[in-house]
Amino acid sequence: MTTLSERTSQSAFDGSRLRVVLLLDLHDGAQNQFLEAYEHLRNQVASIPGHISDQLCQSIENPSQWLITSEWESAPPFLAWVNSEEHVATVQPLHNCVRDTRSLRFSILRETEGMAGGAPEQLRGGLQASPRLGDGVVRHALTFTVKPGSEKEVAKILAGYTSPAAQVDENTRLRRTSLFMHGNRVVRAIEVQGDLLAALRYVARQPEVRKVEEEINPYLEQDRDLDDQDSARMFFTRAALPAVHHVAADAPAPADVQRHALFYQAKEGCGMTLARMLAKQAEAAADDPTTPIASSTIFQRDDVVVRLIDMSGALDARPDLALGISGARKAATLTRLLATGDDGVPTTDEEFSRFLARSDMRLITDRHASSEES
């Protein structure tokens, strides 16, 4: 019998096979161009480690609607591919063919006997161990860098914007937006109840948000033109910082919980390994009934890792716990994975506190949507 996990949790690191579903609505007359682009994409994806298979389907009711499904050994190889510059370049020809897209990702929990019969022996199994308990919230982040020297001006602009109305549609609602900076890097973490894509599109259309985006444009290290659909799409594709793990403790959050963000710059090629290690530490902390951490969310793209924690008490009261490296071995592993681990392995409280201070991101604004807001 499959049991349900008792605490709120999501993870890309449970080892289960992954099913990716991409829904597409094509422009009229674009089928041949789309098929040509898909063949190129299919050949590219087939060579990616961790890819098992894919299918292209066309609706029997509306020929403009298409479906691409793919199966992967697990989530990490897919995420490494979909967040890569290679993927951005490979899918670019599809944009001229497609009116609308929607991407969905599922870990495989059960399957009918014989469904994996055509797969190699080593790929059979790999099912999610048990259902996870959700809270109806989708977590996502965006990150980008601004020109050195412009940090104060950018922080002032980002802190001063007017929040859009929280209600997106009857099924989707903005719950929280948290903005942090670490040097010249900006991280915007959002929580959405309902459809993330609908929420992102809604926010992009709001005049108060558009005004802020235009004001920070001159300070961005990566140029963008929000009036050019391709330029805007490319910028936000590269800025995406997906949530790869989230866990919340079983107990209700204490009243004094504060939100913090910690920034980790991993060595080249080590971002996923670092995120996986932090995820394991977060799961272990959630099992401790005395933990001051109410929830932990890990975002990762390439070698950028951000850990968002809701924590009661001072951040530096337990610097090792806040950093996600309880124990000397974990601290040593972290320093090996970081691009800036030149100061040696922290062992004393003072060394952990200095390590934490370097990772701690500056909070610019943290906004909740009230229950009465519409």
Tell me the C-alpha distance between 255 and 354, whole Å: 28
Give the residue, 371 or 219, on which the prediction is more confident.
219
Question: Are 340 and 274 members of one domain?
Answer: yes
CATH code, domain with 53? 3.30.70.100
Question: Are 90 and 175 members of one domain?
Answer: no
Interval 147-171: pLDDT, tens: 999 999 999 999 988 889 999 999 9
Does residue 9 lie within any of the structural domains?
Answer: no
Does residue 273 lie within any of the structural domains?
Answer: yes
**Per-residue pLDDT averaged across 330-359, rounded?**
80
Give the residue, 4 or 303, on which the prediction is more confident.
303
pLDDT at residue 374, rounded to an integer: 42
The band of 303, judged by pLDDT with boundaries at 50, 70 and 90, is very high
Question: Are 349 and 250 members of one domain?
Answer: yes
Q: Which of 270, 266, 309 has its CA nearest to residue 291?
A: 309
Q: In terms of residue numbers, what domain contains 195?
A: 137-242
Interval 256-279: pLDDT, tens: 899 999 999 999 999 999 999 999
Interval 29-53: pLDDT, tens: 999 999 999 998 898 899 999 999 9
pLDDT score of 16 more than 80: yes
Question: Are 208 and 96 members of one domain?
Answer: no
**Per-residue pLDDT averaged across 198-219, rounded?**
92
CATH code, domain with 221? 3.30.70.1090
Question: Are 259 and 181 members of one domain?
Answer: no
The band of 371, judged by pLDDT with boundaries at 50, 70 and 90, is very low
pLDDT at residue 290, rounded to an integer: 83
pLDDT score of 133 more than 50: yes
Contact 158, 367 (CB under 8 A): no
Q: Work out how many domains the chain is built from and give that number.
A: 3
pLDDT score of 215 more than 80: yes
Question: Residue 50, exposed/middle/buried by CB under 10 A (0-12, 13-18, 19+)?
Answer: middle
Interval 223-260: pLDDT, tens: 888 888 888 888 888 899 999 999 998 777 777 899 99
φ, ψ dihedrals at 175, nearest 5° = -105, -40
pTM for the full predicted model:
0.90
Question: Are 99 and 143 members of one domain?
Answer: no
Task: Give the DSSP letter of residue 47.
Answer: T
Q: Is 191 left (phi over 0), alpha (psi -120 to 50) or beta?
A: beta
